[in-house]
Structure 1
Amino acid sequence: MFTRRQLAGVCAAALLATPAAWAQTLEAPASTYSPTVGQQGKDVIWVPTQQALIDRMLDMAEVTQQDYLVDLGSGDGRTVITAAKRGLRAHGIEYNPDMVALSKRAAANEGVAERATFEQADIFESDFSKASVVTLFLLPDLNLKLRPTLLDMKPGTRVVSNSFMMGDWQPDASVESGPTANCSSFCRAHLWIIPAKAAGVWDLGNQGQLELKQTYQALEGTLTQGSRAIPLQDAKLKGNEITFVADGKRYAGTLEGTRINGRVDGGSSWIGSRKNSG
């Protein structure tokens, strides 16, 4: 578990690594607000995500212009603005009103104010359920506090965290900022894809009965065909896409509410109807 004191220990390095181009974007008259790396915030101290890692975070989320990104604790707005420059609609939620004003000025300076929006609010009291991508750079205990809300989001929503994990919920992927990024601290990002809720018993008609137990995106269970109970292998979820192997055959399907539409290797189709939830 990282503490505010431990984070403060790397603030100087983070400040030195802040790209000059971004620093120029944030330049403002002396009468305007200027944040300091390591300054105290509501829940965490402020350490900006380095630009190289922001780029990797957006890449690993495979963002498109159809996405709507929400950055939780958006700081000086750099993640939101970077996303907006890629053509996304992006929104930052930040508790510090001075940071919000700074972010709005930066978005205007970059010509993306229509796509990059910001609000002063508490992330734990905000509704960001319409986001298809969520980014964050928070401490592990705050990630855990957010985890139930994230898991209730639409299946397929991508969540990308700078450095910190989600407890026992293992990420779907992790990346480093890259060897040429000159990153000295907080150089790793983790991606989670919100899984559908698949646990329970599913009726597969003449192909049997599927019983699933779910732990985040990991699945286990059995496919019962007649008197045979076949254990599932390599069973997992990626959003609402389910895959598993049973009796040497690979099954793949798309879960939509109380129904799974799928195919088996070799071309035959299968349909699962939910009998009860796990």
Structure 2
Amino acid sequence: MFSWRLWLYASRTFWCLLPFLISPIGVAAETYDQCEQQFAPRSGQPGKDVMWVATIDQLVTAMLRAAHVTNKDRVIDLGSGDGKIPIAAAKQFGATALGIEYNPELVQLAQCYARVEQLTDKVQFEQGDIFTTDFSSATVVTLYLGPSINLRLRPKLLSMRPGTRIVSNAFDMAEWQPDQLIEADVGNTRAFLWIVPARVEGEWKFTEVGGKESFTVRLQQRFQRLESSPATDSRVAVQGGRLVGNRMEMVVSGLEKHPTTLTGEVSGDRILVAMTKGTAIRRYVGVQL
């Protein structure tokens, strides 16, 4: 015989248990304290290559702001620890973010924090080795590692797309001078910003657009700096210059009576530059020889 009382009891039991039934591992944590019941890192905790030390919140914001992070960016944090930087990139700036961390317990903690912040659609964390993991999809790379680790990573960072922003907490890249020094308004904290430069080293022939003039120069590049180089065609020589991603400024002698500044950008396998003299603008297209 059908029992309405038994049916009502079973129905109530089902709805009470539903959150547990649909959750893959129980109920998601609702607070940071609940996340830390399973694992709570301590400052100075040793890791694979470096010890774990949390980045100060104010510096996290300053780093991401200096990198001009927006909702169009993909931020990848190398050695992401408890996930503070990727979570801040998504929460404060709307970016998508990935944290790469070797310690699986820190990965689980960061994932828990992301669930608390309801950011799992924008932030992911994965266990991995930063020296073997592919992070080339990043438009912004953040790190808090150490001087020797930074130098090991430097060739890989320099090979990334021109314009990629690299931000390092506390530690520099030796002779690769930063494009900006970042300081937070708390304690003795600082970070460094680099913008990956285009690679232009070599001999280039520049031809005036709509004109007949052309000249050949040898570009010698030292990270984002163009260094002085002798004239290739005995007429025009490079005195220096600078690259900011694909944007380029080059000072040459020989085109005019005085040294001349050419500004423009690297576009694929060409360099497009212009020289302004009064109201007149002369444009040149450079191809590598």
Query: TM-score, normalized by length of structure 2?
Result: 0.81
Measure, in 2, the Cα distance between the counterparts of 1:229 and 1:105: 60
Question: Contact between 1:200 and 1:274, CA under 8 Å: does it hold in 2?
Answer: yes
2:112 paired residue number: 105
Measure, in 1, the Cα distance between the counterparts of 2:233 and 2:37: 77
2:200 paired residue number: 198
Is residue 48 of structure 1 aligned with residue 92 of structure 2?
no
In 2 relative to 1, CA 264–32 (structure 1 residues): closer, same or farther, beyond 3 Å?
same
Is residue 273 of structure 1 aligned with residue 277 of structure 2?
no
Alignment counterpart, residue 265 of structure 2, candidates 239, 244, 254 = 254
Once the two structures are overlaid, the 10-residue window that deviates more, 110-119 or 252-261, is 252-261
Measure, in 1, the Cα distance between the counterparts of 2:69 and 2:135: 17
Measure, in 2, the Cα distance between the counterparts of 1:230 and 1:80: 45
1:134-187, CA deviations, whole angstroms, 9 ceiling, x for partnerless residues?
A: 000001000000001001000010000001011211111102112xx3x3x5x1
Measure, in 2, the Cα distance between the counterparts of 1:117 and 1:27: 20
Measure, in 1, the Cα distance between the counterparts of 2:157 and 2:266: 19
Is residue 73 of structure 1 aligned with residue 79 of structure 2?
yes
1:119 paired residue number: 126
What SS does the corresponding residue of 1:254 show, helix, strand or coil? strand
Q: How does 1:27-42 map to 2 (within 5 A)?
A: 27-28=33-34, 31-42=37-48
Once the two structures are overlaid, the 10-residue window that deviates more, 135-144 or 30-39, is 30-39
Alignment counterpart, residue 97 of structure 2, candidates 90, 94, 102 = 90
- The CA RMSD measured in Å over matched residues stands at 1.8
Gaps of 5+ in 1: 1-23
1:18 paired residue number: none
Once the two structures are overlaid, the 10-residue window that deviates more, 259-268 or 103-112, is 259-268
1:21 paired residue number: none
Question: Contact between 1:210 and 1:221, CA under 8 Å: does it hold in 2?
Answer: no
What SS does the corresponding residue of 2:46 show, helix, strand or coil? coil
- Between the aligned residues of both structures, percent identity stands at 42
Measure, in 2, the Cα distance between the counterparts of 1:226 and 1:169: 30
In 2 relative to 1, CA 254–231 (structure 1 residues): closer, same or farther, beyond 3 Å?
closer
Determine which structure has more spread, i.e. the larger CA radius of gyration.
2
1:106-144, CA deviations, whole angstroms, 9 ceiling, x for partnerless residues?
A: 111112111011000011110000100000000100000
Measure, in 1, the Cα distance between the counterparts of 2:182 and 2:76: 20
2:141 paired residue number: 134
Gaps of 5+ in 2: 1-29, 208-212, 254-258
Measure, in 1, the Cα distance between the counterparts of 2:206 and 2:128: 46
Residue 155 of structure 1 aligns with an amino acid whose one-letter code is P
Measured after TM superposition, the shift of residue 223 of structure 1 is: 8.0
Query: TM-score, normalized by length of structure 1?
Result: 0.84
Measure, in 2, the Cα distance between the counterparts of 1:244 and 1:152: 22
Q: How does 1:232-251 map to 2 (within 5 A)?
A: 232-233=239-240, 235-247=241-253, 248-251=259-262
Residue 60 of structure 1 aligns with an amino acid whose one-letter code is A
Question: Contact between 1:160 and 1:189, CA under 8 Å: does it hold in 2?
Answer: yes
Measured after TM superposition, the shift of residue 198 of structure 1 is: 0.7
What SS does the corresponding residue of 1:83 show, helix, strand or coil? helix
Measure, in 2, the Cα distance between the counterparts of 1:33 and 1:225: 63
Once the two structures are overlaid, the 10-residue window that deviates more, 128-137 or 250-259, is 250-259
Question: Contact between 1:209 and 1:225, CA under 8 Å: does it hold in 2?
Answer: yes
Question: Contact between 2:220 and 2:229, CA under 8 Å: does it hold in 1?
Answer: no
1:144 paired residue number: 151
Measured after TM superposition, the shift of residue 34 of structure 1 is: 1.1
Q: Indicate the structure whose relative CO is greater, using CA pairs within 8 Å and at least 6 residues apart.
A: 1
Measured after TM superposition, the shift of residue 26 of structure 1 is: 3.0
1:64 paired residue number: 70
What SS does the corresponding residue of 2:126 show, helix, strand or coil? strand
Measure, in 2, the Cα distance between the counterparts of 1:33 and 1:220: 51
Is residue 164 of structure 1 aligned with residue 175 of structure 2?
no
